Amino acid sequence: MQEQTTAKDHVLSVLEEQQQDYATTVKSSSFTAVSHDEEDFHLFERKKKKRKENSDLLILLSEESDEFDGGWLRLKDEWMIVLEFLPIGSILMLAMTRKANYGWICGYVRRMARLLIEKGLGGRFSITKMLRMKKKMHVDSNNFKQVYEVFKEISLRNGSLTELSHGFLFNGIHFEQLYHLLDIRKSLGHLDELTVETVCLPKKEILSFERIFLKKQIKDIPIGYELKNLELIIEYSEYGVQTLYKILAKCRNLESCQIQVDENSKKTTHLYSDDTFDENYIHVPLMNNLKHLDVDSFEEDPQFMFDLLKFCPNLETLHYACEATPKDEFLKFVSEMCPKLRRMTIQSEYSRITDDALVDFLTRQKEMEYLDIRPTPMISGKVFKHLDQFEKLKYLRIRRCLHYASIAPQLVDDFQLGSRPLPNLHYLDIGNNYRFSTHVKFDRFENSLKLVAPNLKDFYEMDKTSILELYATTLETTIGTLTNLSELHLCTNLKRVVLQIPENSKFDGIPVCPHVIELKFHFNYYLDSTVLLQLARIFPSVEVLDISFCGDSFVELLKNSSFWPKLVYLKVSPTRKEKLINIDNARPSIYIEGFQFPIIPNTFNYLWLERDLNVRNEYFLT
């Protein structure tokens, strides 16, 4: 019978076991303790003391825990905290001790698999990969009081936040609560004071491109200075641009920062002045360690992003999704503030960025490898003639769209991509708005494409058969249409296909494509079982399948393990629960997107764990 126990008991038992050193080799679902030499005694005692401190922190966080039933936590997330303390290897060994533990870990992997697929992180989704993605602790109104007490306890003994977690996600916390949490002060130790270089941001909403520095002396430091990874979700709360800056003023050593600002957030909140802001300015420390910034904001004021970039001189990755309208001046400012940028994504309603601004930006950003700006209705295509100047580019997505044809400039007549090869350029998306009036012009375009991008793996919407022939040995992703479907087998490295085919299409005589492992149906009509059987014949090796909005005829087929036998990930549109449960019972190794099933004893297996421990496994790309 499956054991019933409390979440707290699980936490404490795991930590007690961790006070022994586990063997790194797992045999027959067991593990052995490692003996210590006398000379390592003192080191062992220090580690034991550290684990005792960790145990105290966990007890404090789990005082009001709910029952942990059948390997599934109902409300609290003490197990999430355990992940921060146990090494990956220990968690894998924990999974092998009993079915309940393995069931919980498999369930966790299932919940995380979607992120791996959608973010395209690559590699087989497995227990180890999923656990490594869990690098932050979630803090909301339910556990804020306990977390606040832990932060205070850490500051009193001058400890480190890494004892609790390597990263934090604050969701729906009131501004003043979060401000006071991060402003809990710690001693400087042997130092009398610390000099902090800050950037002065005006408290009033004034458009300013100037960066003003000021050095400030402080006698104790906010505990927020220790944060390495911060994720902040602001929903229906009294956050505004200035209040967000005040939160960031309590951080200094961030390496990654993700900010999501809801459209209903208020504009202002008043708070007393302290050593990080005064009547005129908010003094945000210069964050030299910040390499990754991700901002998803409904804020329409462009000054918001201008100010954020002022304290990120070493930024390498920028993702910006916004309601604002990025213009040429934004690209110029980014190149001045962030000269080390390597990856940038801008997603907006539409931008007014022009060809000349893009050429100037790429010329300045010598390290740029990944650039995605969409849509870009104000370009004519002239930028692509300069493409061969940017030698480090690997990914370029600059889409000119038909939706804004009324304001767009006239397209260049003779569309070409330059005259020198970019061997690292693997992805290119120029949009669907370019037309070629003669075969001669299209031939010139194809010749320049093959010359500039000899190793292209994905050309997005360009599905012409001639493009497939050009990249028969390198293409990994393409759109499958009735025009090119019979030619896909020629692409020996093809991994992903997005099918765009009309209803009632026939597939007789289409050759088999044995290398395709990801298949997505990009239409919304009912697919009967006959069509699915034909597609399964053409693409027999599919492991990842997105069949959303195509009916539910797949259910009966998937109950048979011989139908797409390698399938491990299935994304479907909402359908009746009992039908999906039938698939889960028949094929428990398949992760079904959008629907969670408890792991029950009769579906217990070591499939994913065996994948992790088998170093000879081949990997697929997602």
Q: Give the H/E segment covering residue 571.
A: strand 569-571
Task: Give the mean pLDDT of 93-100.
Answer: 68
Give domain status of residue 171, yes or no: no
Nearest residue to 567 (alpha-carbon basis) of 594, 595, 586 = 586
Nearest residue to 307 (alpha-carbon basis) of 292, 295, 316 = 295
Tokens of 510: 């289409």
Which residues on adjacent β-strands are paired with residue 6? 67
Mark which of 133, 153, 169 sits at the end of a domain. 133
Give domain status of residue 60, yes or no: yes
Give domain status of residue 371, yes or no: no
Give domain status of residue 188, yes or no: no
Mark which of 95, 117, 133 sits at the end of a domain. 133
Query: Residue 281 and residue 259: Cα distance in Å, rounded?
Result: 21
- The residue that leads in pLDDT, 576 or 198, is 198
pLDDT band at 376 (very low <50, low <70, confident <90, very high): confident
Give domain status of residue 536, yes or no: yes
- Main-chain dihedrals φ then ψ at residue 495, nearest 5 degrees: -115, -35
Which residues on adjacent β-strands are paired with residue 257? 230, 293
Q: Are 512 and 540 in contact (CB under 8 A)?
A: yes
Query: Residue 108 and residue 106: Cα distance in Å, rounded?
Result: 5
pLDDT tops 70 at residue 509 = yes
Task: Give the mean pLDDT of 260-266.
Answer: 65
Q: Give the H/E segment covering residue 179.
A: helix 175-182
Task: Give the mean pLDDT of 514-529.
Answer: 85
Nearest residue to 181 (alpha-carbon basis) of 218, 156, 144, 135 = 144
pLDDT band at 117 (very low <50, low <70, confident <90, very high): very low
Q: Which one of 45-49, 284-288, 608-612 scores highest in mean pLDDT?
A: 284-288
Q: Are 199 and 284 in contact (CB under 8 A)?
A: yes
Q: Considering only the C-alpha atoms of the chain, give the largest distance between any 2 of them, rounded to a whole number of Å.
A: 83
- The residue that leads in pLDDT, 399 or 426, is 426
Q: What is the CA radius of gyration of the chain?
A: 28
- The residue that leads in pLDDT, 311 or 80, is 311
DSSP-based three-state secondary structure for 296: strand
Domain that residue 35 falls in: 5-133
pLDDT tops 80 at residue 608 = no
Task: Give the mean pLDDT of 300-316.
Answer: 87
**How confident is the model over 33-43, as pLDDT tens digits?**
333 344 444 44
pLDDT band at 483 (very low <50, low <70, confident <90, very high): confident
Task: Give the mean pLDDT of 350-363.
Answer: 92
Give domain status of residue 223, yes or no: no
Tokens of 390: 């940017």
Which residues on adjacent β-strands are paired with residue 397? 372, 429
DSSP-based three-state secondary structure for 233: strand
**Average pLDDT along the chain:** 74
Mark which of 133, 153, 179 sits at the end of a domain. 133
pLDDT, position 344: 96
What lies within 8 Å, CB to CB, of 157 at 6+ separation is none
Give domain status of residue 501, yes or no: yes
pLDDT tops 90 at residue 511 = yes
Give domain status of residue 278, yes or no: no
Q: Provide the whole-model pTM.
A: 0.73
pLDDT, position 516: 94
pLDDT band at 482 (very low <50, low <70, confident <90, very high): confident
How many distinct structural domains can be found in the chain? 2
